[in-house]
A and B are shown apart, each in its own frame.
Chain A
Amino acid sequence: MRFERREHRPLSLLILTPLIAVVSALAISGILIALAGAPVLEAYWRILAGAFGSRLAVSETLTRATPLILTGLAAAVAFRARLWNIGAEGQLYLGALAVAAAGSMLLGGLPGIVQIPLLLVTGAVAGMLFMLIPLWLRLRFSVDEVVTSLLLNFVAVLIVSMLIDGVLKDPMAFGWPQSYPVADDALLPKLIARSRLHIGFGIAIVLSIVIYFIQSRTVFGMQSRAAGLNPPGAVFAGVPLGRTLLKVACLSGGLAGLAGAIEVLGVKGYVTTDLSPGFGYAGIVVAMLANLNPIVVVLTALFTATMFVGADGMSRSMGIPTYIADVTVALSLLTMLVGLFHSQYRIRR
């Protein structure tokens, strides 16, 4: 058996690959559901109902999709330039922490219209700065950023843990380790009344379009793609490698930091160490399922959010652990990788 590179990738294949990947992942998870003794189709029906069955369910799913879109974009932007930022989780936490600190202390008195943009920028900058550490290590010492950005995730959570049990600890929280809350004025306006859905969702959608535009239409987008695809070729064509990667890292880290900022300002109002149920890692799956296309990231983030939100409802009524959502999402990454391989190569015997 040999693998032969496909000369042309038909559009149908590009569309079908993620669909087939998701269906296969659902089919394999179905085996687990059946093993747990529940009817598979009904379980999936309940997941759908749990995610879209009511106005509240829909708003919950969209709320959950918001940080996933942003971390998905963070991964997509970086991976496109072959910068393997696995640290979105940590950048998200640092963004959240910076927002909580600034919102509760420095900027707390400002009116919302001024405070919110400032806080969002603060979060993005914090994420950016945190991503600069692995980038600097790579450019200066050729240290693999997969390892450094991944390990910094744990450092980030420990920093959060230290501060919310220290200087940022909210004395009104009955001893729970959580940060001071941000001022009420800093909370993001709701998109739908009496739900948790906030304008952060709109911001994420707009950003996905902006990123798409940057990648397909700008000089920076073209240069970062060249740098990722063929570094010596990019150097020969005069692409400043270091500077391009620096911009990519800032964009990627900034998006992840923004995810943290929006999660604090839109949903929680303060920071704890369980702010993110792995949004940063799930963002990698979201980006890969979307084949790194920023527009498709919105759809794949919705799929992932559907699984997580829907699994909660399904679990209550059918007695299957919610971990089935994690299993399905993780499986869909594996099936997508297999699918991507098949869309690039054909198998010959």
Chain B
Amino acid sequence: MTLPVLQIEGVSKRFGNNLANDDISLTLAKGEIIALLGENGAGKTTLMSILFGHYTPDAGRIVVDGTELPPGKPRAAIRAGVGMVHQHFSLAPNLTVLENVMTGTESLWAVKSQTGAARRKLLSISERFGLRIDPDKRLGDLSVGEQQRVEILKSLYNDARILILDEPTAVLTNIEAERLFTVLKDMARQGLSLIFISHKLDEVMAAADRIVVLRRGKTVAERRASDSSKAELAELMVGRQVERPVREPSTPGALALAARDITVWVNGVARLKSISFALREGEILGIVGVSGNGQAVLGQMLFGTCARTSGTLELFGKPVADLTVPDVVDAGIGRIPEDRNHEGAIGEMAIWENAVLERISSPAFSKNGLVNRNAGMAFARRIIEEFDVRGGTPQTRARLLSGGNLQKLILGRNLLQNPRILIAAQPTRGLDEGAVAAVHARLLAARKEGAAVLLISEDLDEVIRLADRIQAIVGGLLSPPVEAADADARKLGLMMAGEWREVEDAV
């Protein structure tokens, strides 16, 4: 066993009353990939920020290659070969890839910037690790996955030997994520050491050599990926056994929502191409697909924020014209948006305001243009109580809620109205295991109550567990439905690749 390249020894960090890191120790060997697994708020990001010098630890030390890093000095960390890929990229969209990579590497007083040498170095790195990129493209024109590649290249350009990735797959599609892990493994083979933060069990099992589980600021376990299982890791991470609920059989009722030949053009591009589906009361219809294939537009069309170009839509057997948001809300359609932080809530407004904003014109919450604050507060209190929203009172700003609690607030404001139809777009994206189970239970309860649920998701596991029938969306086209009982990951994978005709033939 060689000397570890990185040792974290007894690191503690306290924020107010909250002990974010409690005596955490960790070692990383050359060529090793460690996954730091834990729920949101377990202290993963804090630990990595200490390692990178963003925070000063209250106790403990960081040793790289046998020398201790001075605390709270990112420059020293970079010089020692630590590179960090942030969840929210710290890149400038108006500069080219090359300029972004070079930023901060040259002296401000340098007479001439060494663009030629930098370009050669960048190209050789990108060649060596298979991170292909055009150095002269403007960053803003790149996809999120490509931007992440630039962020990684920037660290490598600074001669990083230890690379830290903060939830690298949070912004990626499944295929991009797979490609990323192939690259990361290759980097490890070439002698780099990596730590990546995640709360997704599948990817830590697939990509990491060793898995360190954090819970409430403490290391609770360390496992070799080969000696562990998803079930064990889930339990370690949450601290108790988590079972995602599974649907019970039910008999679907009347037709709630029928879409026929719906086409939507957005900015001159056909995002939905003549799609049809039927949704019945008491069932969950799953729409799976890799993001970017039209499911976002499908959601917006049903939410009332995007008009259809052609096709008919029927609600409970009656054709409806273009839907506006108030139409949708008044029709008793619950809406769970894909992006809960930017669409689902207004962070700087209070929880109670977020609870009532979409219904503010209804007589329940306002009269003659005057807001009934008491009714709003009472409604928010009911949501907080019945949906177990933690971390705030009705007057707290919504921004202070964690992702899972914000999602419970959004679920609550919809489900307390007993919607007859519920449109849920990516309802568990980015949530930790406990919150996922809570959201699933709510969706199944709504189905049991007789609501018609449309579940748009890219999480196959989720769709297979919850949905009665499943359709795949690919390039704006919708496959015919399959019964969930007949579906497995392989079959859905083929459908998501647009090969549903072959699937049908095979049956």
Contact = CB atoms under 8 A, between A and B. Distances in A.
Interface of A: 2, 7, 217-223, 225-226, 229-230, 232-239, 349
23 contacts: A217-B373, A218-B371, A219-B361, A219-B369, A219-B371, A222-B360, A222-B371, A223-B357, A225-B349, A226-B349, A229-B346, A230-B346, A230-B347, A232-B339, A232-B342, A233-B342, A233-B343, A233-B346, A236-B305, A236-B335, A236-B344, A237-B357, A238-B358
Residue of B304, B343, B345 with most partner-chain A CB within 10 A: B343
A235 B305 contact: yes
A283 B175 CA distance: 54
Contact of A218 (B343, B345, B370): B370
Interface in B325-347: 325-326, 329, 335, 337, 339, 342-347
A165 to B, nearest CB: 45
Given A219-B369, A226-B346, A238 B304 contact: yes
B366 interface: yes
A236 B343 contact: yes
B396 to A, nearest CB: 9
B220 interface: no
Given A2-B54, A226-B349, A238 B325 contact: yes
A233 B343 CA distance: 4
A239 B54 CA distance: 40
Contacts, number: 68
B10 interface: no
B56 to A, nearest CB: 8
A217 B329 CA distance: 23
Contact of B348 (A7, A230, A236, A349): A230
A6 B348 CA distance: 12
B415 to A, nearest CB: 17
B357 A239 contact: yes
A127 B54 CA distance: 50
B72 interface: yes
Contacts of B326: 238
Contacts of B361: 219
A219 B360 contact: yes
Contacts of A221: 371
A237 B305 CA distance: 9
A237 B325 contact: yes
A223 B360 contact: yes
A202 B406 CA distance: 45
Contact of A232 (B343, B348, B400): B343
A229 B349 contact: yes
Nearest to B342: A232
Contacts of A218: 369-371
| A-B pairs, 8 with minimum CB distance | A238-B325, A236-B343, A237-B358, A237-B357, A230-B346, A233-B346, A229-B348, A219-B366
A70 B438 CA distance: 51
A7 B353 CA distance: 18
A238 B343 contact: no
A188 B371 CA distance: 35
Contacts of A234: 346, 357
Contacts of A349: 72
Contact of A238 (B72, B329, B344, B345): B329
Nearest to B303: A236
Nearest to B376: A222
A217 B370 contact: yes
B360 A230 contact: no
B174 interface: no
Contacts of B291: none
A239 to B, nearest CB: 7
Residue of A220, A225, A233 with most partner-chain B CB within 10 A: A233
Interface string B357-390: 1101100001001110100000000000000000
B75 to A, nearest CB: 13
B309 interface: no
Interface in B433-480: none
B105 to A, nearest CB: 21
B30 to A, nearest CB: 31
B325 to A, nearest CB: 3
B40 to A, nearest CB: 16
B324 interface: yes
B13 to A, nearest CB: 12
B143 to A, nearest CB: 20
A233 B344 contact: yes
B349 to A, nearest CB: 6
Contacts of B346: 226, 229-230, 233-234, 237
Nearest to A223: B360
Contacts of B349: 225-226, 229
A129 B303 CA distance: 35
B371 to A, nearest CB: 6
A16 B400 CA distance: 24
Interface string B380-411: 00000000000000000000100000000000
A163 to B, nearest CB: 38
A7 B345 CA distance: 17
Contacts of A226: 346, 349, 353, 357
Contacts of B325: 235-238
Given A218-B369, A230-B342, 10 more contacts: A7-B400, A219-B360, A222-B357, A225-B349, A229-B346, A230-B347, A230-B348, A234-B346, A237-B346, A238-B358
Contacts of B72: 349
A232 B345 CA distance: 9
Contacts of A220: 369
B46 to A, nearest CB: 13
Contacts of A232: 339, 342-343
A227 to B, nearest CB: 9
Nearest to B373: A217
Contacts of B324: 238
Contacts of B54: 2
B88 to A, nearest CB: 13
A219 B372 CA distance: 9
B374 to A, nearest CB: 12
A24 B497 CA distance: 64
Contacts of A217: 370-371, 373
Contacts of A7: 400
Nearest to A348: B55
Contacts of A238: 304, 324-326, 329, 358
Contacts of B347: 229-230
A219 B343 contact: no
Contacts of B303: 236
A235 B345 CA distance: 11
Residue of B304, B324, B370 with most partner-chain A CB within 10 A: B370
A107 B243 CA distance: 78
A236 B373 CA distance: 21
A236 B371 contact: no
Contacts of B358: 236-238
Contacts of B371: 217-219, 221-222
A133 B96 CA distance: 37
A218 to B, nearest CB: 5
Nearest to A226: B346
A226 B357 CA distance: 9
A223 B346 CA distance: 11
Interface string B32-57: 00000000000000000000001000
